[in-house]
Amino acid sequence: MKNQWLTFISGRVYVRVKGPGLERFLNQLTRAKLAMWKIRRLNKHEIVFYIELSNLHTLRHIARETDCEVTLPRGEGLPFLWKRVLKNSGFAIGIMLFLFVILFLSNVTWGIHITGADPATEHKIRKELDKIGVTIGRLHFAIADPESIQQHLTETIDNLTWIGVELKGTTYHFQAVQKTEPEKVELKSPGHLVAKKKAVISKLFVEKGKPVVKVHQYVEKGELLVSGLIGSQGKEEAVAAKGEVWGLTWYNSKVDEYPLESLFQVYSGEEKRVHSIKINKFNLPIWGMKKNDFQDYGTEIDIRPIRFLGWELPISYQELTIREKEKIVRKLTKEEAIEAAKELARKSVKTKIPEDARIEKEFILHEDVENGKVNLSINFQVIENIAEEKPFIQGD
């Protein structure tokens, strides 16, 4: 009995022999040491059996010397299967190409839907999406993940409170929530404008009310700037004072121990990438570096799921980026360090003053360099609107 697996791999042939000289034919096959198995007699003059594909030539040679009729109904095993595959290769290739096209199209962006935004805001969103590459016809692998898209839109578009980003099938869905600016309600009850901090008046713009201060006048916090009582004495009318009173104010900012020499850790610009196919928890590298020889580095993993007709497959594309880090020492001269400290002080002051205020002048109160560090104290002269409303009380 031949090993079925071995004969399947090498190939086997099913043989049918018919004729009066069957015994002599079988004897000749035996003398030729041709292996046969599953020999079965169908009738007095007909038998069937199996031989190895490699013995087919010997069988045909012996068959010519006898008066038996030999037929080969079928062949079995890998050689015959391969022959059938080659014969039908066009059909198989067509199926593979069809599946590949469907897989490719399932991972292409075919739609971008935006809801919850007015036309102007929707135009801004689409403009920003074009900048970051979220466009129709682009592969999902070449587009940032939804979390990154959401963060970018929230940071760049001012009138968005929140925006949801979701990829459904081949379409990106954006759900926007816009900021609702509350209507400014004017103070209807009579009142004055008073100083919210001490300052020197530099400019006045009064819409309603009677100014009681002049340019270059020094005022204290809470001092009356514009009165809500207008008209001649004895015939005064109480109104809601309205206007702007700009004054010179002062802010102090200190920078302690700004170093002349600093150590920074930065990326060198050298990087290596590994592209792989991830099947569940198994990673199959397909292209990229083989050995990481960076002494200090940072890693970043980007995983993109592969979809088929809207379904997310348990297969994903993974890109591992390894970036080399290096330490650099920044050395500044005394003048450069002082200028850097001044810029730091300016940034600190800008976080404290109103948006419509501006820095007019700056005065250095203290400046020295000790033990390789700069110590700085600066006074900033700022022009800002110092007026604030105060409800009118009879007798003020």
Most confident segment among 15-24, 90-99, 217-226, 329-338:
217-226
So where are the chain's domains? 4-83, 111-178, 191-260+332-396, 263-329
Query: In terms of C-beta distances under 8 Å and separation of at least 24 residues, what long-range contacts does 253-257 make, across chains too?
Result: 253/345, 253/346, 253/348, 253/349, 253/377, 253/378, 253/380, 254/345, 254/376, 254/377, 254/378, 255/341, 255/342, 255/344, 255/345, 255/348, 255/374, 255/375, 255/376, 255/377, 256/375, 257/373, 257/374, 257/375
Helix (H, G, I), strand (E, B) or coil at 308: strand
Q: What is the mean pLDDT of residues 175-202?
A: 79
The confidence score (pLDDT) of residue 218 equals 93
Q: What is the mean pLDDT of residues 145-172?
A: 89
Q: Decide: 208 and 239 in contact? Cβ < 8 Å.
A: yes
Residue 221: name the closest of 386, 100, 351, 64 by CA.
386
Extract the tokens encoding 30: 């035996």
Cross-strand pairs, 266:
326
The architecture in CATH of the region 111-178 reads: Roll (3.10)
Given this model, what pLDDT does residue 182 score?
Answer: 59
Q: Average pLDDT, stretch 235-251?
A: 88
pLDDT at 367: 86
184 pLDDT band, cuts 50/70/90, is low
Other CB atoms within a 10 A radius of the CB of residue 289 amount to 13
The dihedral of CA 308, 311, 313, 319: what is its sign? positive
**Strand, coil or helix: what is 264?**
strand
Quote the tokens at residue 231: 């008209």
Residue 134 CA to residue 125 CA, distance in Å, equals 11
Q: What percent of the chain has pLDDT over 70?
A: 95
Distance CA 44, CA 38 (A): 17
Nearest-10 crossing angle of helices 146-156, 119-131 = 120
d(CA 353, CA 385): 10
**Beta-ladder partners of 28:** none
Return the CATH number of the domain spanning residue range 4-83: 3.30.70.2280
Average pLDDT over residues 232-246: 83
36 pLDDT above the threshold of 50: yes
| Residue 322 backbone phi and psi in degrees, to 5 | -115, 115
Q: What is the pLDDT of residues 304-340, one digit of tens each?
A: 888 887 777 888 888 888 888 888 888 888 888 888 8
The average pLDDT across 281-299 equals 81
Residue with tokens 């450069």: 336
Q: What is the pLDDT of residues 50-65, one digit of tens each?
A: 988 888 888 888 888 7
pLDDT score of 214: 92
Residue 108 has pLDDT above 80, yes or no: yes
Instruction: Answer whether 215's CB lies under 8 Å from 265's CB.
Output: no
